[in-house]
Amino acid sequence: MTAVGGAAAASTVVPTTTTATASESPVTVRIYPGPVPLHGWLHAGVTGMRSDWPEPYRDAMAAVEESLDRVLEYANAESRLEGLEISLERGAPVRFPLSDAPLSSEAVVPSLSTVLANFREQVRERNALSARTSHVLFCWSPLNFRVGYGGTLTPNAELGSRAGDGDNEDNSADRDEHVDGALTVANLGATEIWDSRPITRNMAIHETLHTFLSPEVADEVGGSPCDHDLGTAVRTGEDGRTMEVTPMATAYAGPDELGGGTRFHGRGCHDHGEFHRHDGLENVDEWTYTTEPSQATLEAVTRYLERTV
């Protein structure tokens, strides 16, 4: 377990497996490694094979820690969220099936909603659902176009989400009684195979921070309810032909076409005109990716935590 914030803000991630059923920290981010097929290990290398923790997962978790550090540094500099710690943990591996459908296209290429539902069920069976926990699944599914780069869905899209457990006989679960927290998926197999390690890091941050943002807070801070618009795409270099993209804008900053920055364009909401900053697409020759969240993202996450914790 790594505590982010306070004296531990400069700590290095040392992934540990936890079977805890409830967190003592006000906020917890728990990252679960999904199964990596043989072709994934051939790509990533065998380091971490015995512990189900390949180098892309390791680097992605370190990037998530770095982004959470920055949120708390930003907030503490303004005397906000003082004393808050965010516990970053590595959960036990999540195993197949990520779809419980019979042999069909849904079983072979499960949708995002199916993957999230089965992920939630595995977390529920561990008695680990908690309102202030963000459960993040790192999966390796480079050919699953239905999951894409990942994502989250209501009713478990945000930290503090409440949803019916579905175990009541009349199927009318008390939504105030069953508190689940947030669940999200980052398809790191897709970013590793089709893109690059910097995009792997950014999409891990991207999908995690989704669970710390709401449309209301995004609209207050950025003037748009779409949290992707909190990101930035800024020209750098002497000739201004290189675009540097922050995590929330990753997969959305480029043109809506194959190979527009990331290999594939995101399917969620976005409007370059509503971005915190977007310097335009004309004459962009190179794309780079920074793990540093934009100022708008830092402010929005801070506000969301102030209202949730």
| Distance in angstroms (rounded) separating the CA atoms of residues 148 and 144 | 6
pLDDT at 104 over 60: no
- Relative to beta strand 2-4, strand 86-91 is antiparallel
Kindly list the domain boundaries of the chain, sorted by start residue.
Answer: 2-212, 224-294
Q: What is the mean pLDDT of residues 69-85?
A: 96
β partners of residue 235: 243
| Of the candidate ranges 99-113, 205-219, 259-273, the one whose mean pLDDT is the lowest | 99-113
CATH T-level topology, domain 2-212: Collagenase (Catalytic Domain) (3.40.390)
Tokens of 68: 């959470």
pTM of structure: 0.87
Residues 161-213: tens digit of each pLDDT = 765 434 444 434 344 344 589 999 999 999 999 999 999 999 999 999 999 99
With bands split at pLDDT 50, 70 and 90, how would you rate the model's confidence at 26?
confident
Output the pLDDT for position 102.
56
Q: Give one DSSP letter per residue of 32-56, joined into a string.
A: EEPP--HHHHHHH-STTTTTT--HH
Residue 170: partners with Cβ closer than 8 Å, 6 or more residues away: none
% of the chain exceeding 70 in pLDDT = 82
C-beta separation of 36 from 140 below 8 A: yes
C-beta separation of 30 from 18 below 8 A: yes
**Per-chain mean pLDDT for the chain:** 86
Q: Give one DSSP letter per residue of the chain, joined into a string.
A: -EEESGGGTTPPP---EE--SS-SSSEEEEEEEPP--HHHHHHH-STTTTTT--HHHHHHHHHHHHHHHHHHHHHHHTT-STT--EEEEEEPPP-S-S----SSHHHHS--HHHHHHHHHHHHHHTT---TTEEEEEEE--TT-TTTTTEE--TTSSSTT-B---S-STTS---TTT-B--EEEEEEHHHHHHHS-HHHHHHHHHHHHHHTT--HHHHHHHHSSS-GGGG-EEEEESTTS-EEEE-GGGTTTSS-SSTTSSSSS---S---GGGSSEE--STT--EEEE-SS--HHHHHHHHHHHHHH-
| Distance in angstroms (rounded) separating the CA atoms of residues 155 and 225 | 17
β partners of residue 282: none
Residues 243-257: tens digit of each pLDDT = 999 999 999 999 988
pLDDT at 283 over 50: yes
